[in-house]
Amino acid sequence: MSLSVGDTIPEGTFKYVPYTPELEDGLACGVPTTLSTNDWKGKKVVLFAVPGAFTPTCHVNHLPPYIKKYDEFKAKGVDVIIVIAANDPFVLSGWARVEGLKDKIIAASDTDVAWSKKIGHVFDLSAHGLGIRTGRYALIIDDLVVKYIGSEPGPGVSVSGADAVLAAL
């Protein structure tokens, strides 16, 4: 399936470790829970995907502007901001803690890139020893309907970055 503007998103689930103050202790792990796309019914969601937590472009260039501009997203009516990657929920929780996401942005695992495969946005990094990953993309979803798709045509962050998504809201 290839997702287009105006389409209803396919159902899917993600695993994530919800933020709690106990996670401030580096030895705490938290308990993964399931997040369903059905939870976004009636909500405006910004979802962006990165190939991997702690990888150079994702860690330095993609996620930080979303954190920095969090208030701008909220001012434009965004209810939920979520970053997904193929990493497991514990790695994403660790990344969220290092990046200081707390309860602002959900860092969720697209286990086996199942949901990204459904929408046609995967990235094969097998040649680099990283396997199949989520592609680098961003979606604006309003009441489960796609309003914007920014899929990166090559390396770097442009159409899936915070500035491009803010401009599209």
Q: Does residue 69 sit in helix, strand or coil? A: coil
Return left, alpha or beta for 35; rule: phi > 0 is left, psi -120 to 50 is alpha, else beta. Answer: beta
d(CA 165, CA 143): 17
Point out the catalytic residue in the list 46, 50, 53, 58: 58
Ordered alpha helix ranges (H), 76-139: 89-99, 114-118
Closest CA to 134 of 85, 101, 94: 85
Q: Would you call 58 a catalytic residue per the annotation?
A: yes
Two tokens, residue 98: 């290092």
| Residue burial 40-60, b: 16+ Cβ < 10 Å; e: rest | beeebbbbbbbbbbbbebbbe
Which are the catalytic amino acids? 58
